[in-house]
Structures are given as structure tokens and as C-alpha cells.
Amino acid sequence: MHESRADLFQRLKRRHEFWLASVIAILVIFLSVATQGFLTLQNFFDLLTSYAFLGILAAGLLVVLISGGIDISFTATASIAQYITMLLANKYGLDWFSVFALAILVGVLLGAINAILIDRLQISSIIVSIATLNIFYGLLVFVTGGKYIYSLPSWFGKGIYWFEYVDADEISYGLNLQILALLVMFTITWLLLNRTNIGRQIYALGGNREAAQRLGFNVFRLNILVYCYMGLTAGVASLIQAQLAQSVAPTVLVGKELDVLAAVVLGGASLAGGVGTVLGTVLGLALLAIMQNGLILIGVSSYWSQFFVGLVILLSVSATALSARRKRKGNLVE
Amino acid sequence: MATFLDLKNISKRFGGVQALTDVDLSLEAGEVHCLVGENGSGKSTLIKIISGVQPPEAGGTITIEGRSYTQLNPVESTRAGIQVIYQDLSLFPNLTVAENIAVGQHLGGFRSVDWTTIRKIAEAAMARINVYFDLDAKVEDLSIANRQLVAICRAMAADAKLVIMDEPTASLTRHEVDALLSLVRELKKKNICIVFVSHRLDEVLEVAERVTVLRDGKKVGTYDAKDVNDKKLAVLMTGKEFSYDLKETDLKSRKTVLSVKNLSRKGDFKNISFDLREGEILGITGLLGSGRTELALSLFGMNPPDEGEITLNDKPLALKSNREAIDNGIAYVSEDRLTLGLVLEQPIAANATVTILDKLKGAMGLIPLNAREATVDRWVKDLSIKVSNTANPVKTLSGGNQQRVVLAKWMATTPRVLILDSPTVGVDILAKDGIYEIVRGLAQKGVAVIMISDEIPEVLYHSHRILVMRNGRLTGEFEPHRSSEDQLRIAVNA
């Protein structure tokens, strides 16, 4: 069937992503006019690099939210993965492959603990992950005494740079470790959710848990997969953050979990499960990043940043709720 | 006709409870079979055994198209062509029509999704029953009736030879029920066996060929549908005879309690006028969306009318809230007792007295527990609510007893006008009868009752007078003793 342009627009209008993209476009145009430094290649790459950590975690959290669960313990997971990996890398002189393997392993194991508690004891995921956040973080701070690791292996400190390009002002950009990891994790998440039957099972589970069980989906296995995937993203994110910060601090990551949640929720994922897309999450993250960056560029005190983030979340969620209500009313009239 | 499924000596125990005892059941290909019984009669257990969710006790056999099993698992059952459409439909509201229909494709271990195949399967399934939906529409955007069609498509996609439908008509309007029944006739032509599990007996008897009645886990018998009617089935299901009819009473001499004149509310109802007398049970019937519930809410102060007058005991009444309605002696028992009428986790006693906390309130605004207990005990006795302890949460009670607690809660306010909205939805025949008895008793004590229901027999046999509502207007008034179920049905659906 041929779809007319008007139909396409009607369809687009109903998508959360369409509105997000529109808001972002307006924001980008405004900031490009209002500030000097916003619309530059350098700022673009800087933003990607510094928001890669939140973005990778957002990809993991998206999968958890779609399945109908929630996890807020991932920052503690990332801190532990980072600490153990860098400690061992310093001691045994590991390589790129083994540090990532190790960080992912730690992340997956801690994710499995969450999954087992949530599935076997049938406790709500928010309670479990609040508890494990505190347990993981408490143990880490106790064992390490809160000590920073300042000296990282030199190969790790140098990082990875592909397609490096230096412009006239001798500023270099390129595909660095952070951007690469961000792209890879978003791609994998998209493939998992849209191109594999397990991804569709995760959507189904979040949409109607009982029906999923009746159909014969293995809910325990799905939970394991979802929370371990969250752990995997925490492992990856922890390393690229350590590389960027050039140090490992056990206390700096915990507290960022709500920023990640904000990006995913802005992106249209529902805490009730079953709803959310990778594109939405990318846009949610972009909105968060552009907003925070833009506020700094136009000279608003960074103390206001959180205020505006909160305001935008509230507006976004209200708009979604209002349109859902209108849709329900529309259905009644039919 | 060939036998598709043959059950022999099927029994099932859960702990000390004998859920099924030596049940035999045979289903023919291309047959529409009705399975009826009260709650707890073993209907759901029998379905679970057929769908492989529960194994039967040793000694029983299940024969599907000549192949015998001692028990089934869900995969074997599905492979044999057995599909159950549960009352909640088991659909995924967040997924598209195509994916819901072909969701079986997602089963199994890790692999990539073939979206082209999924769309093809969905299209083929829809073609089999001659329906068409936008493959990319989300199921949450469809009406309940269309969702049901999607669920049936899903059964088609799984190559169903036996489709068991659990309470398929419960949330459908009359027109939708008709459409469903004609679809069932189509499936029958394709040699598919359909089993209806239902308590809306009048509807399913229109298409069923045979009816099997279960009572207390035993099969009472299988009957030709043309040999039974809903009254006879009610007797078979409960083992009891019911005196349906309310005695014809002359209420003309009674005092008018509530008088409604030209009441209108935009989009809900228009020009509604009627009088309600002391001790009268007034039945109001109409389709879902005919404005019956909206009218009730207006009388209860929760849906202020735009025009017209309400007079209570000769005094004009302009209700601004339900609080005022309660203070004026109007009580409303909502349609959806689970979400609106009861706090399920809270004790029975707290639920029954929540409407009269102001009256019970003693010194310093605290509730004296002995006063509360006295009130609760009185209503538990008066309404014969079966409870072991009034401190238990309401959710521990059966549907019938829960409904009694809701009644108790409103009776405690000593209302002069009691509005009941679908008072027996989801309640057994026996428990229904108990509720009718209570309502009759209240009417005898002088309470004026409005009973709203879309079940025609309910209003016909249990009211003194019946009003029919259609598209927001009162379109007919009937006297039960001079009217038949068919007359009313025509008036409601006209």
C-alpha cells in the first residue's frame, strides 16, 4: 500500500521520538545562534566523549526498563568493575582485550546477583537494586578505604584514537575509545532488541508478564539476560570512564544513576515496562547533553543545570501522559 | 463427525481438595461445545489439564485424534492443535498486531527475527477468519472486541484444531457478541472445535450444540443445547431450584422517595425522568455505553447534570459531591467492586465501616473499636457474610462474599436510596441468589433500590419495574409480569 505524506506525518506525530527530535532541533538552532562555541566539530566530539559513560549505561538500563524491571545498582557495579580491573591491570600488566573481558565479567556476575534475587525471591527490582547498590558500594569503600588509583598502565592512559584529524588550530578529533564504545554498545543493544527473538521476548515480558509465561517464555532466563546485560554495559562504561578520567575513584560514579535514568525516561521508556527504543534513548541522552552543555555555554550557573533537567523531565512526562489521556478519550468516542 | 479429543476418568487433587473426579468428556471436530459450572466446579482445572498446564492423577487418559496420553505438557498440547484464549486474552498491548499473532515465532533459543515471515503468518491468519487489521497497529490501540479477534488470529496462526474460549463474551457489547458468534460458526465450518467456558448462558446457547455441566468437580452430564435453557442449566449447575419471580406488588400507594425530571448531561444522557417509590426495586438495563452508569453517578453526586431536577423526599437536591449524596441517604455500589468498592488488602471490618467513620468517631476523633465491631458484627449477621474473622483482608473472601461486604459498607450508612450497578458481575449463581435475597429484604424494609444491569434476566426477575436505556435516553418501561426476556432484549438492542 502506498502511504501518502499526510499519513506518514500522522504516524510520526504519534511517536515520542518525533517530538524529542523536534525539541532537540529547536534547541540546537537556538544555541547555534546564541553562542559561539556550540556548533563546532570540537564541541560535538567533546560532548560525545564525555557523555559516552552515561550513554552506555543508558543502553543497558533501557533493556532493563523494557523488561518491566529497574536497576539502580549499576553505578556501584561499574565502580567495582573499574577498581578490580585497574588494580589487576597494574599488577599483572593486562592488555586491552583482557581488561574489557575482566570488567565485563565482574559486571555480569554482579548483574546475575540482582537477577537471581529479583526472580527467585520475587522481590520488586527497585528494592533489590537499592539494597545491592548499598551493599556493593559499601563493600567497595570498606575494602578500598576509598583510596584512588592514580597511576594507570601507560597503554591504557594513552587510550585509542582512530581516524585522527588535526585542524588548522591544531585541535585533534577522531574516533576515540569513548565514542567507539558508545557506538558499539548502542548498535549491539539495537540488534538485541529488534533483531533477535530474545529481544522481542524482553518486550513481550515487559508488556504482559503472565501472557509471556503462559506462552512458554523462560522468564528466569530472560531476567538473567537482562540484568547481566546491564552489568555488561556497566563494565564497559566503567573502563571508558576510567580512561577519560585517567584515574579510578571508588566514590565518583555512585550518584550518576539518576542521570542515566533521566536520559532513558526522557527517551520515552516507561517504568511500567514494554516501552522504549534505542533511538529514543539516544535522543533522550542528546537532549540531556545539549541542555547541560548549552546552559554552560550561555553562561548560566551550573547549579541551574539540575533544575532545568528536572523541569524538562517533568514537561516531557506530562506531555506523554496528556497525549495518552487524549488517546484514551478518543477511543471512548469511537 | 470425528472425535478430536476424548478424556476418560480425569481426576485431579490439589492437596486435600478434590478438584475433579472421574470426568469424561469428548469433543467432536467442528463442534461448538459449552462448558458450564459454578466457580470451583472444576472448569478451569479441566482446561489446565487439556492445555497441559496441570497433569491429571494417574488412571486417566487423554486421547487426541486417536493418540493416547496419560498427561500433556503445554508444548505437546499446542502441537496437537489445542489453543486456549483466556479471559484476559494474553496479548501484549505494547506490541503490534503482526507480532501478537505470530508471537509463537519468538519461542525458543537465541536467534534472529525474520520480520517478513512474521508478517506473512499474521496476514495468513487474518485471512483465515476474514478480518483485517493494520499489521503495524499496536494492540493497546484496538477495542476489546478487536483484541479478541487478534487473539483468535493467534490461535489460527498456531494451527488450532480446538479453541477453548474462557468467558469470551464477558466484556463485549451485544453487537460484538453477535459478530463473535458468527465467527464461531465460520470456524465450525473449517472443522475446528470450539469450547466456550461461560456463565452468560443465554448467549452461548445460541451457537452451542452440546453443553457439559460440571458441579463440585464431577460431570453432571452432557446435554443437547436444544434440550436445555438457562433456567434448567442453573438448576443443573447448582443442584437447587430457584424461585425467580418477585411477587407482583402494588406500589402506587407508596410514597415517592426520589423523583428525577428532565435530567440531562451532555454526552452522557438526555431528558431522563422517573419516580422511585419506597420499597421499590427499579431495574435499569441497557448496553454498555447507554448512559446507565453515568446516570447512576449523577444521582450519586459524582457526575453533575447540566439540566433537570432531582427531588428527594419532596425536597430539591443539587448534589455537588458524593459526600453530600451519602449525607442525604443515597448509596451507590459501583460496578467494579475490586477497584472502586473495596480496599482488598484491608480487613473486612475496616472495609465495612469506611463509609461511617464520621458517625463512629468518638473522643478526639478516634474510632472506638468496640463500636466498630458491633456495627460490623451486625452487618455480617444481617447479610450472612461467611467470614472466619473480620480482621482478615477482604481479598480472602469469595466474590459473592466480597460483594456482600460492599453492600454492608453502604447499608451501614442507612440509605433511603440504594443504587446497585451490575451487582452480580463475576458472582456465582448461588451467591447471586443470596444477593437478590438481600436486596429484596432491604426493599421490604422500605429502601428504594435502583438496580442497573445488562443481564436481562437479572432485571426481569428481580425488579418491580424496568426502564430501558439506549443512547443516553430512556426508551421503554416494562412490567416484569407482562414482559418476556425477548421483548426486553429487542428493546435493549433496537
Query: CB distance from A275 to chain B under 8 Å?
Result: yes
- Residue B278 Cα to chain centre, angstroms: 29
pLDDT at A331 exceeding the cut of 50? no
Which of A50-64, A215-229, B130-144, B226-240 bottoms out in mean pLDDT, i.e. has the lowest?
B226-240
In this prediction, residue B118 carries a pLDDT of 96
d(CA A211, CA A152): 50
d(CA A71, CA A133): 9
Shortest CA gap B233–chain A (Å): 31
Contact B100, B147 (CB under 8 A): no
Chain A residue numbers with beta carbons less than 8 Å from the beta carbon of B90 are 208, 210-211, 214-215
Going by pLDDT thresholds of 50, 70 and 90, the confidence category of residue A245 is very high
Query: CB distance from B146 to chain A under 8 Å?
Result: no
The answer as to whether A190 is a domain residue is yes
Query: CB distance from A3 to chain B under 8 Å?
Result: no
pLDDT at A4 exceeding the cut of 70? no
Shortest CA gap B345–chain A (Å): 18
Query: CB distance from B347 to chain A under 8 Å?
Result: no
The answer as to whether A21 is a domain residue is no
In this prediction, residue A11 carries a pLDDT of 75
Strand B210-215 with B330-333, pairing: unpaired
Domain hosting residue A189, numbered range: 37-254
In this prediction, residue A1 carries a pLDDT of 44
- Nearest C-alpha in A relative to B88: A211
Of B91, B108, B143, the CB nearest to A208: B91
Query: CB distance from A215 to chain B under 8 Å?
Result: yes
Looking at the domain that runs over B256-493, which CATH code has it been given?
A: 3.40.50.300
User: Mean pLDDT, to the nearest integer, of A288-307?
Assistant: 87
Total domains in the fold of chain A: 1
Contact B236, B207 (CB under 8 A): no
Return the C-alpha torsion angle B112, B117, B121, B124, nearest 10.
170
In this prediction, residue A329 carries a pLDDT of 54
d(CA A17, CA A23): 10
Residue with the bigger pLDDT between A204 and B458: it is A204
pTM confidence score: 0.79
Listing DSSP states for B137-183 in one string gives SBGGGS-HHHHHHHHHHHHHHTT-SEEEEESTTTT--HHHHHHHHHH
CA angle in degrees (0–180, nearest 5) for B278-B282-B283: 165
The answer as to whether A224 is a domain residue is yes
Contact B360, B375 (CB under 8 A): yes
d(CA B488, CA B31): 30
Of A197, A210, A274, the CB nearest to B94: A274
CB contact under 8 Å between A274 and B93, yes or no, is: yes
Of A195, A204, A331, the CB nearest to B106: A204
Residue with the bigger pLDDT between A55 and B203: it is A55
**Angular region, B455: left φ>0, alpha ψ -120 to 50, beta rest:** beta
Query: CB distance from B68 to chain A under 8 Å?
Result: no
CB contact under 8 Å between B111 and A196, yes or no, is: yes
CB contact under 8 Å between B104 and A215, yes or no, is: yes
Residue B393 is given by DSSP the state B
Burial of B293 (0-12, 13-18, 19+ CB in 10 A): buried
Shortest CA gap B138–chain A (Å): 11
CB contact under 8 Å between A204 and B107, yes or no, is: no
CB contact under 8 Å between B91 and A198, yes or no, is: no
Residues with pLDDT less than 50, chain B: none
Residue B341 is given by DSSP the state I
In this prediction, residue A274 carries a pLDDT of 93
Cell 571508588 locates to A250
Please report, as a single letter, which amino acid is at residue A153: P
Query: CB distance from B69 to chain A under 8 Å?
Result: no
Residue B454 is given by DSSP the state S
In this prediction, residue A253 carries a pLDDT of 93
Of A197, A198, A211, the CB nearest to B92: A211
Alpha helices in B279-368 (DSSP H): 292-299, 322-327, 348-353, 357-360
How far is CA B161 from each of CA A15, B193, B203, B310, rounded to the nearest angstrom? 39, 6, 23, 56
For testing contact with chain B, the best of A215, A218, A275 (most B CBs within 10 A): A215
Query: CB distance from A274 to chain B under 8 Å?
Result: yes
In this prediction, residue B391 carries a pLDDT of 84
Chain B residue numbers with beta carbons less than 8 Å from the beta carbon of A320 are none
Shortest CA gap B75–chain A (Å): 8
Shortest CA gap A230–chain B (Å): 18
In this prediction, residue A327 carries a pLDDT of 65
Alpha helices in B95-134 (DSSP H): 97-101, 115-128
pLDDT at A110 exceeding the cut of 90? yes
d(CA B13, CA A78): 50
Contact A79, A250 (CB under 8 A): yes
Query: CB distance from B74 to chain A under 8 Å?
Result: yes
d(CA B235, CA A68): 46
Shortest CA gap A310–chain B (Å): 27
d(CA B333, CA B421): 6
Shortest CA gap B357–chain A (Å): 34
Chain B residue numbers with beta carbons less than 8 Å from the beta carbon of A198 are 110
Shortest CA gap B143–chain A (Å): 8
Query: CB distance from B113 to chain A under 8 Å?
Result: yes
pLDDT in tens, A112-171: 999 999 999 988 999 999 999 999 999 999 999 989 999 899 888 888 777 777 777 777
Inter-chain CB pairs, A–B, below 8 Å: 65
Cell 465450518 locates to B189
Residue B365 is given by DSSP the state G
d(CA B481, CA B248): 7
CB contact under 8 Å between A203 and B90, yes or no, is: no
Residue B428, classed as helix, strand or coil, is: coil
d(CA B392, CA A122): 24
The answer as to whether A264 is a domain residue is no
Residue B112, classed as helix, strand or coil, is: strand
pLDDT in tens, A311-322: 888 888 887 777
Shortest CA gap B340–chain A (Å): 20
Hey, which residues does B263 pair with through a beta bridge?
B272
User: Could you write out the three-class secondary structure of chain A?
Assistant: CCCCHHHHHHHHHCCHHHHHHHHHHHHHHHHHHHCCCCCCHHHHHHHHHHHHHHHHHHHHHHHHHHCCCCCCCHHHHHHHHHHHHHHHHHHHCCCHHHHHHHHHHHHHHHHHHHHHHHHHCCCCHHHHHHHHHHHHHHHHHHHHCCCCECCCCHHHHHCCEEEEEECCCCCEEEEEHHHHHHHHHHHHHHHHHHHEHHHHHHHHHHHCHHHHHHHCCCHHHHHHHHHHHHHHHHHHHHHHHHHHHCCECCCCCCCCHHHHHHHHHHCCCCCCCCCCCHHHHHHHHHHHHHHHHHHHHCCCCCHHHHHHHHHHHHHHHHHHHHHHHHHHHHHHHC
d(CA A182, CA A194): 18
d(CA B334, CA B341): 6
The answer as to whether A272 is a domain residue is no
pLDDT in tens, A8-41: 777 777 788 888 899 999 999 999 999 888 888 8
Query: CB distance from A328 to chain B under 8 Å?
Result: no
Query: CB distance from A248 to chain B under 8 Å?
Result: no
- Nearest C-alpha in B relative to A192: B112
Chain A residue numbers with beta carbons less than 8 Å from the beta carbon of B107 are 197, 215-217
Query: CB distance from A325 to chain B under 8 Å?
Result: no
CB contact under 8 Å between A204 and B92, yes or no, is: yes
Shortest CA gap A216–chain B (Å): 7
Walk across the sheet containing B3-14 and list its strands: B17-28, B3-14, B61-64, B67-69
Read off the C-alpha cell for A279: 533511538
Q: List where CATH 3.40.50.300 sits in chain B.
A: 3-238, 256-493
The answer as to whether A287 is a domain residue is no
Burial of A261 (0-12, 13-18, 19+ CB in 10 A): buried
From the candidate CATH numbers 3.50.50.60, 3.40.50.10490, 3.40.50.720, 3.40.50.300, the one assigned to the domain spanning B3-238? 3.40.50.300
Residue B475, classed as helix, strand or coil, is: strand
How far is CA A208 from each of CA A83, A200, B92, B343, rounded to the nearest angstrom? 39, 12, 5, 24
Contact B213, B34 (CB under 8 A): no
CB contact under 8 Å between B94 and A206, yes or no, is: yes
- Residue B317 Cα to chain centre, angstroms: 33
pLDDT at A330 exceeding the cut of 60? no
Query: CB distance from B92 to chain A under 8 Å?
Result: yes
